[in-house]
């Protein structure tokens, strides 16, 4: 049903335009001022600009689709580095290290849901840098050196998401497209058609295509419009399930390790 959300919300505009055109024809007997054939130049210009903007926004959208998966994969790599460091350095506590990754994952997800501001997620990244610094202090320098580039990759992807969400694609081009769409709709109202049937088909069709594509491009331009309750504010948001699935795997591993530690402590107390 989500894929029809944008279409359904555009249909009222289409019906209003078709109704206005029919009222002009049937009640005011307005024949039209411009033959529909002369409107072709404006329609062509609008289609060209729509294609230009759609190509530009789709490039950012395809990149945005990869970013949650890349963040999840990088976080899991950091977790694996921590696990290797804990094996070679018994002084390191693996549950605490994994919990720091879990906290960073949660902060990133809360930020994407607009429950945290940008400063909060960068603060979480800085705290993860301090955790990696503890590896160096505990004599696990090689593992810290491997974890630092992974943290840098997470920070780079977070910054890229922030840029995509907060900037639009060529605002002057949007202004021109909006003017062209208004011109096209206005010309449809004063255009002269060969018959009422052609009019009832052309006017809704042209209005639907132009208004729908304008709204779609604006929606694609920010694919991270999530509300704090987890719902999509727009209609073309990227999926965040890679982060959710990794968070579930990490929580399961953390629970397993903590349960194992609890059993070991219980056995030691029982044998005393």
pLDDT in tens, 241-272: 999 999 999 999 888 876 665 665 555 555 65
Determine the structural domain holding residue 177 and report its residue range: 12-263
Lowest average pLDDT, out of 2-6, 177-181, 240-244, 250-254, goes to: 2-6
Examine residue 270 and state whether it is found in any structural domain, yes or no: no
Examine residue 116 and state whether it is found in any structural domain, yes or no: yes
Q: pLDDT category, 2, cuts 50, 70, 90?
A: low
Higher pLDDT: 151 or 261? It is 151
* Per-residue pLDDT at 38: 81
* Per-residue pLDDT at 270: 58
The answer to whether residue 9 scores a pLDDT higher than 60 is yes
* Per-residue pLDDT at 75: 96
Residue 99 and residue 254 in contact, taking contact as beta carbons nearer than 8 Å: yes
Higher pLDDT: 147 or 141? It is 147
Examine residue 6 and state whether it is found in any structural domain, yes or no: no
* Per-residue pLDDT at 112: 92
Examine residue 114 and state whether it is found in any structural domain, yes or no: yes
Total domains present in the chain: 1
Examine residue 212 and state whether it is found in any structural domain, yes or no: yes
Examine residue 4 and state whether it is found in any structural domain, yes or no: no
Contacts of residue 212, Cβ cutoff 8 Å, sequence gap at least 6: 6, 7, 10
The three-point CA angle 47-19-42 to 5° equals 20
The Cα–Cα gap between 185 and 192 comes to 13
Examine residue 268 and state whether it is found in any structural domain, yes or no: no
């Amino acid at each position: 049903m989500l894929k029809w959300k944008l279409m359904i919300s555009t249909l009222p505009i289409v019906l209003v335009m078709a109704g206005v055109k029919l009222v002009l024809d049937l009640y005011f007997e307005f024949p039209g001022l411009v033959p529909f054939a002369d409107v072709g130049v404006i329609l062509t210009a609008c289609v060209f600009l729509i294609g230009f903007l759609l190509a530009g926004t789709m490039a950012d959208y395809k990149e945005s689709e990869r970013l949650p998966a890349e963040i999840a994969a990088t976080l899991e790599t950091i977790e694996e580095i921590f696990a290797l460091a804990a094996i070679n350095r018994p002084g390191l506590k693996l549950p605490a290290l994994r919990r720091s990754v879990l906290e960073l994952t949660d902060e990133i997800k809360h930020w994407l849901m607009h429950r945290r501001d940008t400063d909060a997620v960068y603060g979480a990244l800085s705290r993860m840098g301090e955790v990696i610094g503890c590896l160096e202090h505990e004599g696990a320098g090689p593992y810290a050196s491997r974890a630092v580039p992974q943290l840098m990759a997470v920070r780079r992807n977070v910054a890229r998401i922030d840029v995509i969400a907060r900037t639009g694609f060529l605002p002057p081009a949007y202004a021109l497209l909006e003017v062209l769409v208004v011109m096209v709709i206005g010309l449809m109202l004063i255009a002269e058609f060969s018959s009422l049937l052609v009019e009832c088909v052309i006017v809704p069709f042209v209005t639907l295509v132009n208004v729908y594509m304008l709204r779609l491009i604006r929606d694609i331009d920010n694919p991270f419009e999530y509300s704090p309750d987890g719902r999509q504010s727009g209609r073309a948001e990227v999926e965040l399930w890679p982060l959710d699935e990794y968070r579930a795997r990490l929580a399961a591993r953390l629970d397993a390790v903590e349960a194992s530690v609890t059993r070991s402590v219980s056995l030691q107390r029982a044998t005393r």
